[in-house]
Amino acid sequence: MSETLIQRIKELEEEVEKLKSQLNGNHTETNACPNNNKTNGKKGKKACKERPFDFSAHPRRHVALRLAYLGWAYQGFAVQENTDNTVEARLFEALLKTRLIQDRQSSNYHRCGRTDKGVSAFSQVITIDLRSTQYSGLGVSVPEDSKQDTAAAPELPYVKMLNRVLPRDIRILEWAPAAEGFSARFDCQSRTYRYYFPRGSLDVAAMTDAAKRYEGTHDFRNLCKMDVGNGVLQFERTILSATVEPADPQRADGTHPHDLFVFEIKGLAFLYHQVRCMMAVLLLIGQKLEAPEIIHSLLDVHNNPRKPQYSMAVDYPLVLYDCHFDGLSWKRDAEELGLAMSSLQQHWTESAVKAHVLRDMIRGLDATSGVSSGLCLLVEGSRQRKYRPLLERPLCESLESRIEHFVKRGRLEREQDEAGGETLHKGKRSKYSQNSTGAAAEVVNASPE
């Protein structure tokens, strides 16, 4: 072989190496992983890195999202430090996965209510800034250096995008563009809860009479869990309506023990465990263990400043039924609504069949077991040997004692206001707490049932 040919082969080999180097460099720059690139060794097995998503190149839009969820399998709605099994945790996983937000901290996120462990929602509402395709319109903010896209692109299908990655027991129902300062927490006009229960042997008429006594503006410290450690020091709330009615009056007359009833309560805002405490007292009245007048006694904090010790109603029948807002134009996706209906129908079919099987088993045993089928089993730890009237029971700590306890622990701090009077404010905050204008704003303006 001639020296000229050998030299030419060396030049070509060098050229091939250069091309390989350039090709690998292009792969690094574009972060691409071509399907036909077959390499040997450990280096070829390394997964290509995803290109960082440039959120600054996209407009953002302030929107409201209405969602429904079955809360029975979750530890509540709001994110918690000791568990990730919450509805809100799943929601933010979906928002990050679809790249609708960069992170929670910069998303301008507010929630309407903080439902408790096991509580469901037909109509929970959040407000948040999401990635958008629009360069004008309600709630749209455009990056300073971006150039407006002249093509009229449709808005991102928020409902479809989120529902594709959310668990099936959490569904986004609709969305609405919102003004930049609009807040699901502060701009909610009212919140409505429903608590479902079987009639059993309850005196529903007495419960209906008692429920009306909740209406109006009262101090509910004896009908909630005092959340003093989180800065809640004021327990006056306004209840707009409170009723007890058959859950389905067209299908049942409300006289059979297995007929379902619903306690529906509408208010401006609620305290921690307020609805479940109110329902527990109604169930005592329905069992004729207490008279309807006990409501007035519990609301009279001057004569009864300390809460009697009693158990709450259980969590699973409670639903955040509605959150009412003015000025929002909701947008629905008919296909997504149909899929949500189909999923709920599947849940209902399974539950209804199981309920009927259990009901027939109860009927078969009722005549021979000697156990009443009208027992009330909706109060935590309700199996008592002998009933003790509420006003004769041991009392919980007073509000003043609770405040002093948390001041000593450093959870509350004392300082003087401008007028020289003493005020208290929350000293310790969770990393998941929303921004607020006052110590108790988190609970006063959001329903933490």
Closest CA to 319 of 344, 349, 289, 338: 344
Take residue 121 and report the two structure tokens written for it.
């929602």
Active site annotation includes 116 = yes
Catalytic residue among 116, 169, 259, 333: 116
Whole-angstrom Cα distance, residue 428 to residue 87? Answer: 24
Q: Which residues contact 261 (CB under 8 A, 6 or more apart)?
A: 196, 197, 198, 199, 202, 204, 244, 245, 246, 247, 254
Whole-angstrom Cα distance, residue 340 to residue 173? Answer: 8
Whole-angstrom Cα distance, residue 314 to residue 94? Answer: 30
173 phi, psi to nearest 5 deg: -95, -40
Contact assessment for residue 265 and residue 192, using Cβ atoms and an 8 Å cutoff: yes
Take residue 54 and report the two structure tokens written for it.
């440039």
Closest CA to 69 of 321, 281, 414: 321
Take residue 12 and report the two structure tokens written for it.
């070509």
User: Among all residues, which ones are annotated catalytic?
Assistant: 116
